[in-house]
Amino acid sequence: MSARRPSPLPQAPASEPPAEVAQPVLAAPGHAAADDASADGTPVVTDDHDTDVIIPLSRDGQKPPASPEANTGEGDIGVADVWRAARARRKALRREVRRFTARSRRRRLTWIVAGATLVALVVATVSIAYSPLFALEKITVVGTESLPAESVEAALAGQLGAPLPLIDESAIKQALIAFPLVESYTLEARPPHDLVVRIVERTPIGVMETPGGWSVVDAAGVVLSTTQDAPEGMPLIEAQGGLDSVAFESIALVMRALPESIRVQVTSVSATTRDDVTLRLGGTETEVLWGSVEETPQKALNLETAMKANPPSNVSVYDVSSTTAVVIR
């Protein structure tokens, strides 16, 4: 027997709540179906062989919502799953926060320990350096030839007993200025108790007659010493205009450029201008006509070569005023 669909339900007024949807009723097989509806008007479907489920339609023609039991499948997510996921996320977040906080604390502790160690090291170093453990006990002067080292050490004795970092360099400078032979100096501290003073002496180039006597001077025109008698073994300088003249400046340039082997043979040097420097060699009274100070290093090299080839004992004049050729007479 074929199934029969129930007739559409009447529309309820707009103001009334929707009526409940009638549920299908299945008739047991074998029952008579003389009446197509039950006593309460519910449609009854009967079939001697199979029973079909009739799904009622909602009033607006849409499919009714699925029952709660439809969400019990394996692929569906329930409230418990959401709660468990949220709790796991909160736990993971708390673990990450604790891990980051612990790492920050370790880093901060490392910086604090390093800073405290550095400060302690600096304080200890400064305390030891400025303590009597590093007091100056010995001053050694090196590099002097004409200047007595003992005189310099005695002049610096006032620094003895002071910690090496507290040595008064200004006082040392004032003490060394009193020695004209000192051209420059350097200080070298050797903990715990020694100070080395390295001195570069001025090099005298000759002796000049001055109102005070005979003065030994260097290339800068600094008077190194003055005596009443002319010292032996020093070239006599005759510069028109004195120590502050252009003539003396030219003589100083020439004397500094001469090789040591020639400088020791010079007995006198004279100049009236910048362009007429003349040297005289001892023993043979040989003259060296230098001329101007232009190309002085090359002239010095030419003179050395000429003197090796022709010793002064056989020459009366070396003319090196021209760098292209040396004239020997």
Co-location of 305 and 230 in the same domain: yes
In a domain, 190, yes or no: yes
In a domain, 173, yes or no: yes
Q: What's 187's domain CATH number?
A: 3.10.20.310
Sheet containing 223-227, strands listed edge to edge, beginning at the edge strand earlier in sequence: 223-227, 213-218, 204-210, 236-239, 266-271, 277-281, 287-291, 317-319, 327-328
Task: Supply the pLDDT for residue 75.
Answer: 53
DSSP secondary structure code for residue 60 in this structure: T
Spans of the chain, pLDDT less than 70: 1-76, 129
Co-location of 228 and 289 in the same domain: yes
Amino acid (1-letter code) at residue 248: F
Look at residue 288 and give its three-state secondary structure. Answer: strand
Q: Where are the alpha helices (DSSP H) in the chain?
A: 79-129, 149-155, 169-177, 246-257, 260-263, 296-309
List Cβ neighbours of 259 (8 Å cut-off, separation of 6 or more): 300, 304
In a domain, 229, yes or no: yes
What would the pLDDT profile of 17-51 be if each residue is shown by its tens digit? 444 444 444 444 444 343 444 444 444 444 444 44
Rounded Cα distance, 230 and 28, in Å: 157
Q: Which domain holds residue 177?
A: 133-201
List Cβ neighbours of 266 (8 Å cut-off, separation of 6 or more): 235, 255, 258, 279, 280, 281, 282
In a domain, 20, yes or no: no
Rounded Cα distance, 249 and 221, in Å: 8
Q: HSE (CB half, 13 Å, CA atoms) of 77?
A: 5
In a domain, 193, yes or no: yes
Total number of domains constituting the chain = 3
- Of 201, 222, 237, the last residue of a domain is 201
Co-location of 276 and 294 in the same domain: yes
What would the pLDDT profile of 222-245 be if each residue is shown by its tens digit? 999 999 998 988 999 999 999 999
In a domain, 185, yes or no: yes
- Of 152, 183, 201, the last residue of a domain is 201
Co-location of 217 and 324 in the same domain: yes
In a domain, 230, yes or no: yes
